[in-house]
């Protein structure tokens, strides 16, 4: 169903101190147990002036489906080359041209 789509996947946190992780990329395959994608990792770092870090390069990933909190399908023309992070005062997100932001989490949560 999601194969070939560009998505933003947020991962569940298993404990309070765990960093907020999400991935933005193109789904290459999936099963009932995992999702494979070519993606950039995005994570929140607490207490820094630039609290969101985005991987420099796209890399292959396989994510277990039971660790996925949410999946948002992004527009087909979304570019992984220049992922823009936004901050609205309380929330951190990825700018999605022509649509609402893909929210990562609350500022200071990482």
pLDDT digits (tens, 9 = 90+) for 5-21: 999 999 988 887 777 88
Overall number of domains in the chain: 1
Round to whole Å and give the CA distance between 44 and 78.
21
CB-based contact 54:79 (threshold 8 Å): no
Would residue 19 count as lying in a domain? yes
E strands, 1-110, where?
Answer: 6-11, 21-30, 34-44, 52-54, 59-64, 68-73, 85-87, 91-94, 102-106
Decide if 96 is inside a domain.
yes
On whether residue 60 sits in a domain, the answer given is yes
Domain contains 1: no
pLDDT single digits (tens) 48-81: 656 788 899 999 999 999 999 999 999 989 999 9
**Residue 54 belongs to what domain range?**
6-106
């Amino acid at each position: 169903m999601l194969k070939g789509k560009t998505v933003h996947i947020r991962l569940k946190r298993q404990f309070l101190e765990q960093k907020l992780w999400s991935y933005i990329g193109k789904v290459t395959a999936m099963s009932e147990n995992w999702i494979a994608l070519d993606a950039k990792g995005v994570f929140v770092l607490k207490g820094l002036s630039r609290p969101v870090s985005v991987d420099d390069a796209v890399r292959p990933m396989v994510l277990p489906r039971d660790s996925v909190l949410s999946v948002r399908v992004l527009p087909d023309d979304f570019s992984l080359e220049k992922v823009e992070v936004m901050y609205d005062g309380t929330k951190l997100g990825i700018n999605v041209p022509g649509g609402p932001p893909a929210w990562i989490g609350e500022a200071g949560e990482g």
